[in-house]
Amino acid sequence: MAARDQHGSGAPWGEEFEVVGKPQRKVDGLDKATGRALYADDLQLPGMLHAKTLRSPHAHAEILSIDVSKALELEGVHAVITGADMPIRYGVIPWTPDENALAVEKVRFIGDEVAAVAAVDEDTANRALELIEVEYEPLHAFLEPEEALARPEPAIHDQKPKKDGTPRGNVSKHVHLEFGDVDAAIDGADVVVEGDYSFHGTTHTAIEPHCAVATYSADGLLSVWSSTQITHYVQRALARVLELPESRIRVVQPCLGGAFGGKSDPFSFEFCVAKLAMITGRPVKMLWTREEVFYAHRGRHPMQMHYRTGATRDGKLTGTDARILIDGGSYSSFGLVTTYYSGQLLTGPVDMPTYRFDSTRVFTNKPPCGPKRGHGSVQPRFAFEVQLDELAEKLDMDPIELRRKNWHGEHTKTVNGQRITSSGFLECLDLVEERSEWKDRWRKLPHGRGLGVAGSMYISGTNYPIYPNKMPQAGIQLSVERSGRVTAFTGGNDIGQGSSSVVAYIVAEELGVELADVRVVAADTDLCPVDLGAYSSRVTFMVGNATIDACRKLRGQVCQAVAEHWEVEPAAVRLGGGLALCLSDAEKTMPVREAFQLAEARFDTLGATGSYNTPTLGGDYRGGTIGASPAYSFTTHVAEVVVDTETGRITCEKVWCAHDCGRALNPILVKGQIEGSVYMGAAEVVMEEHGVNRFGLHAGPSLLDYRIPTSVDVPEIEAMIVESVDPEGPYGAKEAGEGPLHSVIPAIANAVHDAVGIRLHHLPFTPAKVLAALDAREPAQQPAGSAR
Amino acid sequence: MHVLSLRVNGDRLRVAAPAHWSLLEVLRYELGLTGSKQGCDKGDCGACTVLIDGAPRLACLELAALCEEREITTIEGLLPAHRAAGGEGADPVQDAFDRCGALQCGFCQPGMMLSARALLNENPRPSRSEIHEALSGNLCRCTGYTQIVQAVETCVAEAAGAGDTGGAS
């Protein structure tokens, strides 16, 4: 880590924070509240054409021919493109470029993009799609990951063989890592628990459907406004596929209507609007229907998991052995990372003396999976935390005690080499234990009602920058004008989590200006320094640190200029509350505006840049940097459920969630992230399922069929913030957006066991599964007087 | 094309649009009132909720041609109406949503806030379960609804003269 990235975790001007840590409005809150905020589909440009996509009706097929001539003849149609117009492959991970903007030679799932039309309006474009003639030769469709693993042909992707010459078949990625002698550790354990667990597919369902608008100027500048959470990677992918220099491409993220990982790949629509704008010379918009968003997916990977964990008689874990089969769907997306994350992110907060995981991601002919909030690690966390509950039961221990006993501590290293800095995990355990009245209620509630606990950790970004480079992961540029206004330019993608607001809070804190005098310009590749994007919970940590870095440089100049004017030491100058103050002379004060003007006169036009890069982190082995984070967040959940033994219906009534996010820069936003995470995770247990039918057709691509919770479906959520204050986070902050999702799922599973004595291992927990498990119980386990 | 005469946010507007267009399409793409959002276009998500004669309605399911002679209020109409009635700042619902963190991505919130406004116009002192019920047609994927309900309760408390309720100032 460069010295520039270390700023300490305290307030910039002594003891107290003025802005940070207090409830604040968001910089874009009132614009969103009044309907002024502009999202991608709100942009309308003169002469704009509308584009639509033709999609594959086959799960797996070769394309024999495409005839677009009739579509082109339709009045109002301006261009039709196919895969032949953009044959260069891309992928968000540079090592696995296996996607085409439009299908080349074959299609790999029902909904795969085949052709695109630009026309005067959407109705005309839709009519033109019906006139495109495509001849397919259907191939065997793989819908089950076991079959894709067992049967290499027909290969869904034409992959290079491995180094030893063996074909890869339908395996997308395989990772096998072992830390210590796991077999000996488990064989020598006093108690061993072993079981199969499975996690189904779920999807993000941001309420804003994906949309992009492109223009191509006469002098060859391409501009794309897209609902993306990764402007920088979209710019790179557009350059690659369209064979344009990156310097001629501007990507802007307008206000974004939710993402959760579902907008973190470059997508077909972005290439299509760009190409169609280049061909027609007119602005082109493409707005996906809700149905298309379901096909695009990139949601949570279904995983089949086998876990074996050993422990000593007194409850110390000896080893964990995991074998995971991951259903990747039809493309790689982030799959390389997913496969690593499925093992690498499990090694805390419970200490694992030995650990092995063997994860295999396979391709299937289904909508492609990708990163959804808690990327790759929510599924293993479910299995492992349920297994811990089973272990506690076998040991006759309180599961909270088991977790306390095995906590890996602070400022330590995990078995796979991840550096842990601050950890408030024990405080998180204490809080949920106390608030849920665990000691008085766990195992003591009436039959049908139960409590369950689970815990987890998550990354605050990682030191893996997706494409290898030594440049900063986050950059900030500040400009100061004579009015006293400061503008911060950040590549960071505000996807609703409030990253632009965090930048503004930090600028106000550091430079002493009123929050209303900070503007944030974000996620515009023409204007802003690079930030890698809103994924891996990296933005607050990295963009926050970069902002502090830039502010410290700027304030040094301002303080020096003011000190010279007042003839005092620079250390005697304070900026705060819109004023410059002198610590040694209460008479000396001026508006910060005048301080900026003095500095501009003394130095030059005022501005500063700042950046952040991670220190060298991770284990010294292949893949050791994937999942290596500068700081980890920690979470605990206790869930209270009611299980109706007549209908098999599980209702989660209340969730207590304590989350260690380091310093909470704005507690309102942190609570919003905790509550949103809990709600999303809880719904994955009992409501949501993203699947296909026996033909590979999406089982219900609408918000009526894919049931996300309404306001009457959510549990009561008590969100509690634990502030462990990290030594390297901005003012000690860590992540809050993804960690609090993980352990709510196993907490509910464990609560179901407390309620009715059944162990459910296979998500989602449908009434049918509950009733079957109740029926399968040993008679002795059934409570006296139970009807079942 | 059909020439329609619509009453939107207090204005009488004449607009030409294809006869089959929904009210949402006319508002967004002909009148430029893009505050009303499209999340599904089939009546599932509630992001397009507007007030028609004071009641929350899904603009994506209303044929624009059948909305003549009805009073339409979109999210853009709340603040001016509040000012016209002598208020300051934004409508109390909008302000409370902002202060309480109810606006994460903000995409579902115009519809949500109009549902909340309709509820409070009808029932100035709703219970928590009445709030949950009134907002159950508006899907939000960011918040888990907690801060949204807090925002509505903040409006209720402040209208009743209660003091600080804990949000941002």
Q: Model ipTM?
A: 0.97
Q: At what angle do helices B92-99 and B146-159 cross, to 10 degrees?
A: 130
Q: Give the distance from residue A497's alpha carbon to the nearest chain B alpha carbon, in angstroms.
A: 6
A608 belongs to a structural domain: yes
Q: Are residue A389 and residue A424 in the same domain, yes or no?
A: yes
In the 8-state DSSP scheme, what is residue A662? B
The reply to whether residue B142 touches residue A676, judged by beta carbons under 8 angstroms, is yes
Q: Measure the CA–CA gap between A147 and A162, rounded to whole angstroms.
A: 20
**For residue A25, which residues of chain B lie inside 8 Å, CB to CB?**
98-99, 168
Task: For B19-62, give the DSSP string.
Answer: TT-BHHHIIIIIS--TTS--SSSSSSS-TTEEEETTEEEEGGGS
Q: Are residue B111 and residue B88 in the same domain, yes or no?
A: yes
What CATH number should be reported for the domain holding residue A514? 3.30.365.10
Q: Are residue B10 and residue B47 in the same domain, yes or no?
A: yes
Option in A32, A44, A209 nearest B103 (CB) = A32
Residues of chain A with pLDDT under 70: 1-5, 778-788
Option in B36, B143, B166 nearest A672 (CB) = B143
The reply to whether residue B32 touches residue A702, judged by beta carbons under 8 angstroms, is no
Query: Measuring CA to CA, which residue among B135, B106, B53, B69 is closest to residue A714?
Result: B135
**For residue A497, which residues of chain B lie inside 8 Å, CB to CB?**
104
Residue of B nearest to A204 (CA): B141
The residue count for chain B: 169
Integer angstrom CA distances of residue A264 from A90, A91, A200, A386, B104: 14, 11, 21, 30, 18
Q: Are residue A290 and residue A423 in the same domain, yes or no?
A: no
Q: Are residue A488 and residue A599 in the same domain, yes or no?
A: yes
The reply to whether residue B79 touches residue A680, judged by beta carbons under 8 angstroms, is no
**Strand, coil or helix: B56:** strand
Q: Are residue A312 and residue A447 in the same domain, yes or no?
A: yes
The reply to whether residue A711 touches residue B148, judged by beta carbons under 8 angstroms, is yes
The reply to whether residue A257 touches residue B42, judged by beta carbons under 8 angstroms, is no
Q: Give the distance from residue B67's alpha carbon to the nearest chain A alpha carbon, in angstroms.
A: 21
- Which residue reads 């399922």 in tokens? A689
The reply to whether residue B98 touches residue A206, judged by beta carbons under 8 angstroms, is no
A194 belongs to a structural domain: no
A457 belongs to a structural domain: yes
Q: Is the pLDDT of residue B164 over 60?
A: no
Q: Measure the CA–CA gap between A91 and A280, rounded to whole angstroms.
A: 26
Domain's final residue, options A583, A612, A641: A612
Q: Are residue A442 and residue A392 in the same domain, yes or no?
A: yes
Q: Which domain holds residue B45?
A: 2-76
Q: Are residue B97 and residue B140 in the same domain, yes or no?
A: yes
**For residue A255, which residues of chain B lie inside 8 Å, CB to CB?**
105-106
Q: Give the count of beta carbons closer than 10 Å to the beta carbon of residue B163.
A: 6
Q: Are residue A113 and residue A247 in the same domain, yes or no?
A: yes
Beta-bridge partners for B72:
B8, B52
Q: Give the count of beta carbons closer than 10 Å to the beta carbon of residue A339.
A: 25
Q: How confident is the model at residue B8 (pLDDT cuts 50, 70, 90)?
A: very high
What CATH number should be reported for the domain holding residue B18? 3.10.20.30
**Contact between A103 and A63 (Cβ < 8 Å):** yes
Q: Are residue A593 and residue A694 in the same domain, yes or no?
A: no
Q: Are residue B138 and residue B97 in the same domain, yes or no?
A: yes
Query: Measuring CA to CA, which residue among A136, A6, A133 is closest to residue A71?
Result: A133
Which of B:114-143 have CB within 8 Å of A? 131-133, 135-143
User: In A384-466, which ranges are E strands?
Assistant: 412-413, 419-420, 449-459
Q: Is the dihedral of CA A733, A226, B47, A706 positive or negative?
A: negative
The residue count for chain A: 788
What distance separates the 2 farthest-apart alpha carbons in chain B?
53
Amino acid A786: pLDDT: 45
B165 belongs to a structural domain: no
Domain's final residue, options B27, B45, B76: B76
Option in A23, A497, A704 nearest B104 (CB) = A497
Query: Measuring CA to CA, which residue among A414, A453, A460 is closest to residue A435?
Result: A453
Q: Which domain holds residue A523?
A: 3-37+471-612
End-to-end CA distance of chain B: 48
**Contact between A293 and B40 (Cβ < 8 Å):** no
A742 belongs to a structural domain: yes
**For residue A38, which residues of chain B lie inside 8 Å, CB to CB?**
34
The reply to whether residue B136 touches residue A702, judged by beta carbons under 8 angstroms, is no
Q: Measure the CA–CA gap between A77 and A125, rounded to whole angstroms.
A: 7
Q: Are residue B140 and residue B108 in the same domain, yes or no?
A: yes
Q: Measure the CA–CA gap between A511 and A478, rounded to whole angstroms.
A: 11
Domain's final residue, options B26, B61, B76: B76
B35 belongs to a structural domain: yes
* CA A629-A630-A633 angle, 5° bins: 75
Task: For A65-98, give the DSSP string.
Answer: EEE-HHHHHSTTEEEEEEGGGS---B-SSTT---
The reply to whether residue B75 touches residue A34, judged by beta carbons under 8 angstroms, is yes
* CA B148-B152-B154 angle, 5° bins: 110
Q: Measure the CA–CA gap between A621 and A418, rounded to whole angstroms.
A: 12
Query: Measuring CA to CA, which residue among A376, A509, A400 is closest to residue A452?
Result: A400
Alpha carbon A769 to chain centroid, angstroms: 30
Q: Are residue A713 and residue A732 in the same domain, yes or no?
A: yes
Q: Are residue A628 and residue A744 in the same domain, yes or no?
A: yes
Which of B:14-73 have CB within 8 Å of A? 18, 28-29, 32-42, 44-45, 47
Domain's final residue, options A574, A590, A612: A612
What CATH number should be reported for the domain holding residue A240? 3.90.1170.50
Q: Are residue B101 and residue B148 in the same domain, yes or no?
A: yes
Q: Are residue A751 and residue A650 in the same domain, yes or no?
A: yes
**Cis peptide leading into residue B126 (ω within 30°):** no
Q: Are residue B109 and residue B135 in the same domain, yes or no?
A: yes
End-to-end CA distance of chain A: 61
Task: Please give the tally of structural domains in chain B.
Answer: 2
B166 belongs to a structural domain: no
Chain A to chain B Cβ contacts (< 8 Å) = 186
**For residue A123, which residues of chain B lie inside 8 Å, CB to CB?**
18
The reply to whether residue B107 touches residue A497, judged by beta carbons under 8 angstroms, is no
Q: Give the count of beta carbons closer than 10 Å to the beta carbon of residue A324.
A: 25
Q: Measure the CA–CA gap between B158 and A467, rounded to whole angstroms.
A: 52
| Angular region, A293: left φ>0, alpha ψ -120 to 50, beta rest | alpha
Residue of A nearest to B167 (CA): A23
Q: Measure the CA–CA gap between A85 and A67, rounded to whole angstroms.
A: 14
Query: Measuring CA to CA, which residue among A566, A597, A589, A591 is closest to residue A578?
Result: A591
Domain's final residue, options B76, B97, B115: B76
Q: Are residue B16 and residue B70 in the same domain, yes or no?
A: yes
Q: Are residue B151 and residue B83 in the same domain, yes or no?
A: yes
Amino acid B165: pLDDT: 59
Option in A37, A259, A710 nearest B106 (CB) = A37
Q: Are residue A451 and residue A487 in the same domain, yes or no?
A: no
B14 belongs to a structural domain: yes
Domain's final residue, options A612, A643, A667: A612
**Contact between A742 and A681 (Cβ < 8 Å):** yes
> Do the bridges between strand A77-82 and strand A113-119 make them parallel or antiparallel, or are there none, so unpaired?
antiparallel
